[in-house]
């Protein structure tokens, strides 16, 4: 299995429900194709460096997942067909990885972040 | 009338060269295409990639940096060019 990272821009004018629906659609697709999601990171609305389909803002979502190469072709085909997606980019981060290891690492990082946040709150 | 070449050459050499590759000196610095703020430091105002002879990066890191900038441009985190914005500004004057 390879480790991939897909970053895509969703139409920023959508309301909250259809936005979350669009995001879960692609996460579900990966699970359906027997891939495993490591992390879904929503950056939120950001200004685009240049206009894309007449939009100057976009809702960025970073999808971190593991799977076989055919998942990428299927995912990109779906992203291309969807009108709500302005742009997407997939990058291969690593080859021959075990998704379980990545998931446990991710959980550790989250815990560290939480404990760090708690410490900051205590200081305040 | 003779044209003074030497004077012109001296005026061109105003840039300051960084002698050490910043990424080699500090291993905690990582080149990531998602980190548009740090990548923007290696581009000019017009959005061009700053050459190695000026930024002082080593060949390895310059390659990785150029790849990261190109990826960031593809996903609209960095501009390909800012020529359009510049012309708008000129029109105002």
- From A56, which residue of chain B is nearest by alpha-carbon distance? B76
- Tens digits of per-residue pLDDT, B3-37? 545 555 555 555 666 678 888 888 888 899 999 88
CA distance B1 to B91: 38
Other Cβ atoms closer than 10 A to A12: 18
Is the dihedral angle over the CA atoms A52, A53, A54, A55 positive or is it negative? negative
In B, residues 8-47, which contact A (CB 8 Å cutoff)? 33-34, 36
| pTM passes above 0.90 | no
Cα of A106 to nearest chain B Cα, Å: 18
Domain map (residue ranges) of chain B: 17-92
CATH homologous superfamily of B17-92: Ribosomal protein S18 (4.10.640.10)
CATH 3.30.70.60 fits A2-97, yes or no: yes
CB proximity B74 to A under 8 Å = yes
- Tens digits of per-residue pLDDT, A51-69? 999 999 999 999 999 999 9
* Torsion angles phi and psi, residue A83, rounded to 5: -70, -25
Residue positions counted in chain B? 93
Domain map (residue ranges) of chain A: 2-97
B15 vs A75, B51, B54, B65, CA distance in Å? Answer: 46, 12, 7, 21
Q: Can you give the pLDDT at residue A101?
A: 77
The answer to whether the CB atoms of A91 and B71 lie below 8 A apart is: yes
The answer to whether the CB atoms of B76 and A7 lie below 8 A apart is: no
* Among the listed residues A25, A22, A5, the one whose alpha carbon sits nearest the alpha carbon of residue A13: A22
pLDDT averages per 10-residue partition of chain A, 124 residues: 92 90 91 89 91 92 91 92 92 84 74 65 58
Q: What is the ipTM of this complex?
A: 0.78
Q: Which residues pair with A54 in a beta bridge?
A: none
Q: Would residue A44 be called left, alpha or beta, if left means φ above 0 and alpha means ψ between -120 and 50 degrees?
A: left
């Amino acid at each position: 299995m390879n480790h991939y990272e897909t970053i895509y821009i969703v139409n920023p004018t959508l309301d909250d429900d259809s936005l979350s629906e669009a995001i879960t659609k692609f996460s579900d697709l990966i699970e359906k194709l027997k891939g495993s999601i490591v992390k879904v990171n929503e950056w939120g609305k950001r200004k685009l460096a240049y206009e894309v389909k007449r939009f100057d803002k976009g809702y960025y979502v970073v999808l971190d997942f593991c799977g076989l190469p055919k998942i990428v072709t299927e995912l990109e085909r779906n992203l291309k067909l969807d009108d709500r997606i302005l742009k997407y980019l997939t990058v291969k981060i690593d080859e021959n990885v075990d998704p379980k290891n990545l998931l446990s690492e991710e959980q550790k990082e989250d815990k560290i972040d939480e404990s760090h946040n708690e410490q900051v709150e205590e200081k305040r | 009338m003779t044209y003074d070449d030497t004077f012109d050459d001296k005026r061109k050499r105003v840039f300051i060269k960084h002698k050490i590759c910043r990424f080699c000196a500090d291993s905690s610095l990582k080149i990531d295409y998602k980190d548009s703020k740090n990548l923007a430091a290696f581009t000019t105002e017009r959005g061009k990639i700053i050459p190695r002879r000026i930024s002082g990066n080593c060949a390895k890191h310059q390659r990785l940096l150029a790849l990261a900038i190109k990826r960031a441009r593809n996903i609209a985190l960095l501009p390909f060019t800012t020529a359009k914005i510049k012309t708008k500004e000129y029109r105002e004057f």
